[in-house]
């Protein structure tokens, strides 16, 4: 698979997964959601790094884990709403990093 | 974690697996960086030799690594290289080479793992001829505060698992060691960089 396309899939998938897990918490909150998101991003990074590159996985997942976890916890979302939000935020973060990388590597 | 030969020996068996993704990403950037290598080349931190495929053919390379296990695992790649590669086990901070020996010194993700980066760079300067060039493919701490926080947090883990620091400012260290950077290219964000320097 083209690695550039894979980056967007990784973003959407990890965002959805984090949102799904946070939505299953009995009493979700912004702080708890953020912490769970960050904790969940860690094994995901270890799992994905050998296939997709260390920094290319570490940077987006570091952002997605915390932001998606916090947002899902704060809004107390559940089910499809949580998964959709997580996937969307993951995709947006991946897109921002893609353009940031494009700008930084073009010089 | 104390970085020593034993640590790298332990990492050697998993090294190829964990670095596979990086090699898929970085190979085009490395091939571009290495295309003009010339003369007698010192390749510091050969590891398992994953970058050898990105070297142009016909070079005379002296490759050094601290870990015997890593060197052992580079056998096949060294044998398949269409040029000369002599390997030796030594510390990048205290090499056994005479002053002004090499025309080019190459490092790939070395300055993130050595214990003292500036003394290491000064040692590389010592063995490099005045007309020579230091060619580096290294990752550094990002200037973006968001990326920098992530790298600093991850650095706690990578230091203890692999002895790799993700929060080093290698560009500044290179200049502190007395080199002048004349080519500076970002390979991924402002984290992975291809640098060329001389003195």
Could you tell me the CATH number of the domain that includes residue B51? 3.40.50.150
Confidence band of B73 (pLDDT split at 50, 70, 90):
very high
Q: Which position has the token pair 């935020």? A: A89
Host domain of residue A59: 3-105
Average pLDDT, chain B: 91
Contact between A52 and A7 (Cβ < 8 Å): yes
Residue at B97 is within a domain: yes
pTM of the model: 0.89
Is B27 a member of any domain? yes
Q: In whole angstroms, what separates CA B162 from the centre of its chain?
A: 15
* Residue B1: pLDDT band with limits 50, 70, 90: very low
Mean of the pLDDT values across residues A40-63?
94
Domain count within chain B: 1
CA gap B120, A36 in Å, rounded: 40
The whole-number pLDDT of residue B8 equals 76
| Domain assignment present for B90 | yes
Q: Least CA distance to A57: which residue of chain B?
A: B21
Residue B17 lies in a domain: yes
CB B69 within 8 A of CB B9: yes
Range of the structural domain that residue B66 is part of: 5-140+168-198
Q: Which residues contact B23 (CB under 8 A, 6 or more apart)?
A: B50, B51
Q: Is residue B159 part of a domain?
A: no
Q: What's the CA gap between B113 and B181, in Å, rounded? A: 21
- Least CB–CB distance from A55: residue in B17, B153, B188: B188
Quick one: pLDDT band at residue A33, thresholds 50, 70, 90? very high
Quickly state the pLDDT bin for B134 (edges 50, 70, 90): very high
Residues from chain A contacting residue B108 (CB–CB below 8 Å): none
Q: What is the pLDDT averaged over residues B55-65?
A: 94
Length of chain B, please?
199
Of A58, A63, A104, the CB nearest to B146: A63
Confidence of residue B3 (pLDDT cuts 50, 70, 90): low
> Which residues contact residue A78 at a Cβ distance below 8 angstroms, ignoring those fewer than 6 apart?
A23
The mean pLDDT value for A77-90 works out to 92
Min Cα distance B97 → chain A (Å) is: 33
Does A49 contact chain B (CB < 8 Å)? yes
CA distance B74 to B8: 14
Query: Can you give the pLDDT at residue B6?
Result: 62
Chain B residues with CB under 8 Å of A104 CB are: 186, 189-190
Instruction: Please judge whether A53 and B186 are an interchain contact, meaning their C-beta atoms are less than 8 angstroms apart.
Output: no
Interface membership of A52 toward B (CB under 8 Å): yes
Looking at the structure of chain A, the number of domains it has is 1
Residue B103 lies in a domain: yes
Residue A1 has a pLDDT of 60
Let me know if residue B38 belongs to a domain: yes
Is the CB of A97 less than 8 angstroms away from the CB of B139?
no
DSSP designation for B57: T
Q: What is the mean pLDDT of chain A?
A: 93
Q: How far apart are CA B88 and CA B121, in angstroms?
A: 19
Q: Is B125 helix (H, G, I), strand (E, B) or coil?
A: helix
DSSP string computed for A18-76: HHHHHHTSSS--HHHHHHHHHHHHHHHHHHHHHHH-HHHHHHHHHHHHHHHHHHHHHHT
Tokens of A36: 């769970």
Can you give the pLDDT at residue A4?
86
Residue B142 has pLDDT above 60, yes or no: yes
- The yes-or-no verdict on residue B111 having pLDDT over 70 is yes
Does B155 reside within a domain?
no
| Mean pLDDT calculated for residue range A53-77 | 93
Among B13, B18, B21, the residue to mutate for chain A (most A Cβ within 10 A) = B21
């Amino acid at each position: 698979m083209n690695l550039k396309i894979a980056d967007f899939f990784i973003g959407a998938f990890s965002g959805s997964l984090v949102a799904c897990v946070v939505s299953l918490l009995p009493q979700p909150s912004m702080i708890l959601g953020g912490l769970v998101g960050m904790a969940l991003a860690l094994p995901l990074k270890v799992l994905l790094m050998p296939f997709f590159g260390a920094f290319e996985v570490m940077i987006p997942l570091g952002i997605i884990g915390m932001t998606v976890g916090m947002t899902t916890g704060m809004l107390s979302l559940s089910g499809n709403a949580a998964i959709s939000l997580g996937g969307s935020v993951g995709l947006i973060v991946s897109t921002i990093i893609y353009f940031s990388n494009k700008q930084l590597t073009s010089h | 974690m104390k970085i020593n030969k034993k640590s790298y020996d332990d990492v050697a068996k998993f090294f190829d697996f964990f670095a596979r993704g990086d090699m898929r990403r970085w190979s085009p950037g490395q091939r571009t960086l290495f295309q003009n290598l010339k003369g007698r080349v010192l390749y510091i931190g050969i590891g398992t030799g994953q970058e050898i495929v990105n070297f142009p053919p016909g070079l005379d390379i002296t490759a050094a690594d601290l870990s015997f296990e890593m060197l052992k695992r580079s056998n096949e790649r060294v044998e398949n290289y269409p040029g000369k590669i002599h390997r030796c086990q030594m510390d990048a901070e205290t090499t056994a080479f005479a002053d002004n020996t090499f025309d080019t010194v190459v490092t790939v993700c070395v300055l993130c793992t050595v214990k003292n980066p500036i003394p290491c760079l000064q040692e590389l300067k010592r063995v490099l001829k005045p007309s020579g060039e230091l060619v580096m493919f290294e990752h550094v701490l990002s200037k973006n505060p968001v990326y920098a926080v992530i790298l600093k947090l991850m650095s706690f883990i990578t230091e203890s698992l692999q002895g790799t620091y993700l929060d080093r400012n290698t560009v500044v260290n290179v200049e502190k060691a007395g080199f002048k950077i004349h080519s500076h290219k970002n390979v991924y964000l402002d984290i992975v960089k291809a640098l060329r320097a001389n003195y």
